[in-house]
Structure 1
Amino acid sequence: MIRFLLLLLLPAMAVAQIEKAELAIQHLIDSGKAVGIAVAVVKENKLVYSQNFGYKQLESKTQLSNTDIFRIASISKSFSATAILQLVEARKLKLSDDVSELIGFRVRNPRYPDKVITLEHLLSHRSSINDRQGYFTLDAINPAKNPNADSCYNTYAPGEGYQYCNLNFNMIGTIIEKYSGERFDQYVKKHILDPLGLYGGYCIDSLDASRFATIYEYVNDTIGFRASPGAYAPRSEEIRNYTMGYSTPVFSPTGGMKISAIDLARYMMMHMNYGKSNRKRLISQKHSRLMQTPLSAQENYGLALEKTTRLITGKELVGHTGSAYGLYSAMFFDPAEKWGIVVISNGCTPRYAEGYNAVIRSVIEQLYAGIIKAD
């Protein structure tokens, strides 16, 4: 429907450019480089285009549709950061707070025991924490639970280096839960998804399973794609035995959001407009800008959002990527020019170009040329 409305409003030359982009994207499916690709495009601060290519379910050749939802992997981190900043604005937290005091056990790099690891350090991956002991449970870094917890820390001091770390954001999710008094998945639904009118969430059992797009991992050129059932493992037993303020990694605040491409684009518009969308302000302009501001020139990473000039030549974009279980996703936008692109593939070849998945990067380039640049 959105594609149909867009085509009615555009001149013939622009329609031809879009159709050229669509043929290029469809070729990625036909050539075996991707199972399915869902896209959504915002232009001039409006959601102008959405389309789906390929398959929701490869074995049955079920086509993708606009209502299908995906586990979007690490783009999920921006939802957790948004939630934290809401709690900061409610004066329940400060970005300078000591994580040890917030989480309830000692979080200190043993090489720098007097150096506080702060909430901001977690949000920016500057905590000196790594994923060496895993990140699916807080036991990994809790010294009372893991005698090897010291190996969760790098050799540099907190705030003096950068390493992307999933454990950082599973700890963030736990802190959200402890200081909001709401279970993590329910907090995000109530305070982020519902105000924007979006369908999605972190809890598998709370979502319509018929809407899940099966995720496929690319094994090799001979075998091709293989389904990854772990992507939507409900973890129902763990949830039944849930401990508030500790079991939070069950929901994967670091990567477990399930949402459609269209609704992710609507969420993206909130960040594009510095915390406000659909007449709803979720976070202040100040904190939204902070999320988008890199803390050092070396990594261009702010608080769960990064800046890049490596996707579209001559354009500085803000956003995040995701990859897990074979899925690849990207959400990038230009807050000044008010355009953005969401691309989600439920399985594509894992080759990279300029630091980004080559299939996802190609689709972004095609959509930019066919829609954003089109007159």
Structure 2
Amino acid sequence: MKRSGRKFLCIGVALSLTVLVGCSNDSPTAESPSTSEAPPSSDLSPGQVPGVDSPADNIDDAVGKLDGIAAELMESSKIPGMAIAVVHGGDVVYSKGFGVREVGKDDAIDGDSVFQLASLSKSVGSTVVASQVGEGVVEWTTPVVSQLPWFALNDPWVTQNVTVGDFYAHRSGLPDHAGDLLEDLGYDRRQVLERLREVPLDPFRSTYHYTNFGITAGAEAVAAAAGKDWDTLSQDAIYGPLGMTSTSSTFSDYIGRADRAVPHVLVDGEYQAKYQREPDPQTPAGGVSSSVNDMAKWLTMLTADGTYDGQTIVDPDALLPAVTAEIVSNPSATPDSRAGYYGYGFNVSNSAAGRTTVSHSGAFALGAGTNFVWIPSLDVAIVVLTNAAPIGIAETVTAEFADLVQFGEVREDWRTLYRNAFAGMSEAEGELAGKTPPANPAPPQPLPSYVGVYENSFWGPAAVAEVNGELELTIGPKGTSYELTHWDGDTFTFELTGENAPDGTVSQATFSGNTVTLEYFDTDGLGRFTK
């Protein structure tokens, strides 16, 4: 079953820039300081010289246009809420919320409203790792198995050599989003990581595949080396020292916040608070919650090479590998197009102005869209958080802002580009999705012949039972059940909805003798169950 859309949904590198979007209120905007004169080109290496000069007042002008950009996008998209913050020259020059925390209620979004960050958590978590590298607890080159002796991948040599950095650069060889569907079924963090040993690998360190549980494995190794759980380590290393009092790596903290932005999905043209994503199993990759005021503190530290309020939070030498290119993540499609790169938990790219940009998107199909963009040569960064399923609004805000600070004008139709790029992510999956059943299907075998427990070492057992004259499939620790509908002969179908299954997704269940192959769970060739 094809799932190519999820990769873009989580990292947003297809158009080189990633951004955050959210809602607004009428909180005041801080005054932006004057931009200092850029050093003369003679003081820079050739790789630091931009292709286009940016006048000093561009940033002030861009910040001044954010209210209008946000208002237009809120009106056109109808998303419930968004929050935006900008850091420049070590100061927070903009922080504002738009819209409401939950549709149907009057609670307004402000700079302290807490959102789920989704995959922007990877960048935040990377700075946690960098802090431990700087303190000598681990290195980016530390083999994961040295700290997690129970952990293994499908290849013994890779198992012994895959490092924290390999996982944070998505170059372990694990396929795209390996383990995510195990989480959907109710497996916890340790259970998912233990099952990764069964997943076939692509070539080690020469292929890029975005994997939440690869990041999680690397983070767990660092936490083990530090002698703490990941949540405590994140608090002690980053959140506490930066005063990020609204930030946490546990779902229980997020759900307990009074000022919480509730996730929303679009249903029949209207946003509804219908689902709630619980990402604790992959917390290092997608489970952080925060506000734009807290994220502005994190960005202030990031843009100051690991320093905040005169204190070194992360050693600059440990941070540099994370925010610089480690692997090609988005190869050039043509000789004249720019490639995209990935560091350790950060996207790294080159803008049309010849400036390096560092960024990351985050998205939950169940109701969150986030992003930040940092342009180091201009000492400016923007973060956008939204409480709606991703449709490209967050990316549009940051892309337009990045154009304004680099060129003084918005040069691309980012609104259309991102709307089209995100459109395919809500499409139903499965070969039979949207198709009409055959008019004269071959009859099935007697239903009792299909009944039984079908074993699979990766997914666990799948039980097929006859209930009220129909077949029912039950799988996973949560006992998730699906009604099997006859399609043709020994092929049945079942519908799925969730973080990785857009509404309308249909999977085939194909019986053959004492086996059943479940299409939705067969992406990596692991979907065959035996009775």
Equivalent residue letter for 2:265: E
1:75 partnered with 2:120: yes
1:32 partnered with 2:77: yes
Aligned twin of 2:38:
none
1:293 partnered with 2:327: no
Q: Gaps spanning 5+ residues in structure 1: where?
A: 236-248, 351-356
Offset at residue 264 of structure 1 (A): 0.7
Aligned twin of 1:240:
none
| CA distance in structure 1 between the partners assigned to 2:281 and 2:405 by the alignment | 39
Judging changes above 3 Å, is the alpha-carbon distance between structure 1 residues 19 and 139 closer, same or farther for their aligned structure 2 residues?
A: same
| CA distance in structure 1 between the partners assigned to 2:361 and 2:349 by the alignment | 11
1:154 to 180, 198, 201: 201
Judging changes above 3 Å, is the alpha-carbon distance between structure 1 residues 48 and 139 closer, same or farther for their aligned structure 2 residues?
A: same
How many residues of Structure 1 are paired with residues of Structure 2 in the alignment? 343
Q: How is 1:110-121 mapped onto 2 (pairs within 5 angstroms)?
A: 110=155, 116-121=161-166
**Higher alpha-carbon deviation: 81-90 or 282-291:** 81-90
Equivalent residue letter for 1:302: G
Aligned twin of 1:361:
395
Aligned twin of 1:217:
265
1:275 partnered with 2:306: yes
| CA distance in structure 2 between the partners assigned to 1:340 and 1:29 by the alignment | 21
| CA distance in structure 1 between the partners assigned to 2:209 and 2:116 by the alignment | 23
| CA distance in structure 1 between the partners assigned to 2:74 and 2:126 by the alignment | 34
Judging changes above 3 Å, is the alpha-carbon distance between structure 1 residues 342 and 105 closer, same or farther for their aligned structure 2 residues?
A: same
Q: How is 1:91-106 mapped onto 2 (pairs within 5 angstroms)?
A: 91-106=136-151
Q: Gaps spanning 5+ residues in structure 2: where?
A: 1-25, 36-57, 184-188, 332-339, 409-531
Offset at residue 23 of structure 1 (A): 2.6
Offset at residue 50 of structure 1 (A): 1.2
Judging changes above 3 Å, is the alpha-carbon distance between structure 1 residues 86 and 183 closer, same or farther for their aligned structure 2 residues?
A: same
Offset at residue 127 of structure 1 (A): 0.8
1:186 to 232, 240, 243: 232
Q: Secondary structure at the match of 2:271?
A: strand
**Higher alpha-carbon deviation: 71-80 or 173-182:** 173-182
| CA distance in structure 1 between the partners assigned to 2:325 and 2:399 by the alignment | 24
Deviations 1:289-329 (A, max 9, x none): 1111111344410111121236x755431121111132111
Higher share in helix: 1
Identity in percent: 18
**Higher alpha-carbon deviation: 267-276 or 29-38:** 29-38
2:383 to 342, 348, 359: 342
Aligned twin of 1:261:
292
| CA distance in structure 2 between the partners assigned to 1:114 and 1:267 by the alignment | 33
TM-score (norm 1): 0.80
Equivalent residue letter for 2:398: I
Please tell me whether the aligned partners of residues 133 and 149 of structure 1 are also in contact (alpha carbons under 8 angstroms). Answer: no
Judging changes above 3 Å, is the alpha-carbon distance between structure 1 residues 154 and 39 closer, same or farther for their aligned structure 2 residues?
A: same
1:6 to 31, 39, 46: 31
| CA distance in structure 2 between the partners assigned to 1:26 and 1:300 by the alignment | 32
| CA distance in structure 2 between the partners assigned to 1:9 and 1:74 by the alignment | 33
| CA distance in structure 1 between the partners assigned to 2:74 and 2:214 by the alignment | 35
Please tell me whether the aligned partners of residues 165 and 218 of structure 2 are also in contact (alpha carbons under 8 angstroms). Answer: no
| CA distance in structure 1 between the partners assigned to 2:67 and 2:159 by the alignment | 56
Aligned twin of 1:140:
192
Aligned twin of 2:209:
163
Please tell me whether the aligned partners of residues 263 and 389 of structure 2 are also in contact (alpha carbons under 8 angstroms). Answer: no
Aligned twin of 1:174:
220
Please tell me whether the aligned partners of residues 203 and 251 of structure 1 are also in contact (alpha carbons under 8 angstroms). Answer: no
Offset at residue 17 of structure 1 (A): 6.7
| CA distance in structure 2 between the partners assigned to 1:93 and 1:16 by the alignment | 43
TM-score (norm 2): 0.58
CA-based RMSD: 3.2
Aligned twin of 1:243:
none
Please tell me whether the aligned partners of residues 275 and 285 of structure 1 are also in contact (alpha carbons under 8 angstroms). Answer: yes
1:205 to 230, 242, 252: 252
Offset at residue 16 of structure 1 (A): 8.2
Equivalent residue letter for 1:317: T
Point out which structure has higher relative CO (alpha carbons under 8 A, 6+ apart).
1
